[in-house]
Amino acid sequence: MLRGAPAPRPCAGRRANTLGLVSAPPHEPGDPQKPGDRLSHDDAAILALESDSITGHTLKLVILEPSDGPLDLEALRASVAARLASEPRATQRVDMSGGEPRWVDDEGFDIDRHVRRRGEAECLVEADLWREAGELMSERLDHQRPLWTFDLIGPLADGREAIAVRIHHAMADGISSLRFLGAVLWDLVHASSEGGSSTGKGSGSSSPRPEPARLSRLAEARRLPGALHRELGGHGVRSPFDRAVGSSRELAFAIAPLSELRAIGRSRPGHATVNDVLLATVAGGLREWLGSGHEALPQLRAQVPVSLHHRDEGEHELGNRDSFLNVDLPLDDPDPLGRLDAISAETAQRKQLGDAEELYDLFHALGRFKHLGRAAERLAGAPREFSLSISNVPGPPAPVSVAGRLVEQLCSASEPAARHALRISAISCAGTVGIGLCTDSEALPELPRLADAIERSFAELSAAAIG
């Protein structure tokens, strides 16, 4: 077992919204931007979130099976370079010289700067790997070049190697970053019935989603206050993660089998989703980690990003298309099944009411009014509205390989945000789910203890649900 982004920004959209207002997007979904086009509203806003402490990228840790020798770096570079033509963003950089950020071709693109071996420090055991990945997480991507890098780490003493993938959120969100990796890095090994994605209510899901029924403006106006009350109704409780965040990063990881997560969900009367089980597992780990003596456990609200990407988008379309739900984590309930059922009931209600779509359209509309939109974003991102972000993205359902070596485990890390010092990111790969934790070690020390607690919480929940 493994051990050890700013919070999702309410997105301005790329489609007509149900409030009847239409923005002027730079392009429509499925119509690829040409070199020199400006960044979409969503992507430019994410780029603008960078600060001394926020770097703006996600990290995927691709852990390869053991081998007798190190992976051939030059062969990896050649393989990646040969596949970049299908991904225009891979060889484009952000140009800020014209006032508005624009994608332009990087005339001096050099594959050696983007696919490289990290050999500055000895890396023999998992703790070394987590340290190296944490250092990469804290390093800013060079805006004078395309906003991605593949850093090869290892070999470890057991023969495994890892590729630390960094992709800026302005270039791609969770779903589209995996499309990018599927296009330029991974090779499919074979189909797998045991695989499948870690989709569920409130997760970043690539499964088909029908467009919500169009409502009249009057009907929309009646629905919106309910969504605002449920999602942004003023949580009013100080979060234990409401702390200043610096630039250093510490990572820790846990692993759970996807088949067992599914079995736990199927065992409940309401058939909880995989994402419900993940949230309940994290809640149990936080309950142990934060519990001390007879002090009352804190009230925690998780912001769960919801991908609004659709299957009818272009296969290689990158960019951001996200909303969110806020879900209460019942840490005070000692019963793991009680925690799961409470979470499942809440997410089912939010899905039925379409809160994620409502909020997407609201922030889309408000984004047309600069000051009003920023005020709404500050409200939604306040530490008393939610305590931490927990995302869940479906990775490759079947086994994949890199340069002939099987991907043994896949983990993800997204950076914390100002006043939200803990970020949790889950990702699936061919039957396993990697749960990544990311923080500033000065803000929240002893992160590996939380990874251990999450694995114990999963074991407790599994024993209670399926024996």
pLDDT band at 432 (very low <50, low <70, confident <90, very high): very high
pLDDT band at 399 (very low <50, low <70, confident <90, very high): very high
User: Is residue 89, in this structure, part of any structural domain at all?
Assistant: yes
Domain identity same for 180 and 237: no
Domain identity same for 154 and 222: no
Domain identity same for 184 and 221: no
pLDDT at 298: 85
pLDDT at 40: 85
pLDDT above 70 coverage of the chain, percent: 70
Range scoring the smallest mean pLDDT among 70-84, 302-316, 387-401? 302-316
Mean pLDDT over 298-311 rounds to 71
User: Is residue 242, in this structure, part of any structural domain at all?
Assistant: yes
User: Is residue 14, in this structure, part of any structural domain at all?
Assistant: no
Q: How many domains does the chain have?
A: 2
Mean pLDDT over 32-46 rounds to 73
- Residue bearing the bigger pLDDT, 150 or 219: 150
Domain identity same for 179 and 134: yes
pLDDT at 228: 46
pLDDT at 44: 87
Residue 338 structural domain: 217-398+411-466
User: Is residue 124, in this structure, part of any structural domain at all?
Assistant: yes
Q: What is the CATH number of the domain that holds 226?
A: 3.30.559.30
Domain identity same for 182 and 243: no
pLDDT in tens, 12-27: 333 222 222 222 233 3
Residue 458 has pLDDT above 90, yes or no: yes
User: Is residue 34, in this structure, part of any structural domain at all?
Assistant: no
pLDDT at 199: 38
Domain identity same for 269 and 377: yes
User: Is residue 36, in this structure, part of any structural domain at all?
Assistant: no
Domain identity same for 381 and 302: yes
User: Is residue 99, in this structure, part of any structural domain at all?
Assistant: yes
Domain identity same for 290 and 358: yes
Q: What is the CATH number of the domain that holds 147?
A: 3.30.559.10
Domain identity same for 279 and 163: no
Q: How far is CA 212 from CA 14, 353, 358, 391, in A?
A: 15, 11, 10, 22
Residue 90 has pLDDT above 60, yes or no: yes
Domain identity same for 231 and 183: no
Residue 311 has pLDDT above 70, yes or no: no
Range scoring the smallest mean pLDDT among 56-65, 171-180, 331-340? 171-180
pLDDT at 23: 28
Burial 10-42, CB ≥16 within 10 A → b, else e: bbbbbbebbbeeeeebbeebeeebeeeebbbbb
Q: Pull the structure tokens for residue 149.
A: 């890098």
Residue 196 has pLDDT above 60, yes or no: no
Domain identity same for 232 and 145: no
Q: If you average pLDDT over every residue of the chain, what do you get? A: 79
User: Is residue 17, in this structure, part of any structural domain at all?
Assistant: no
Domain identity same for 179 and 254: no
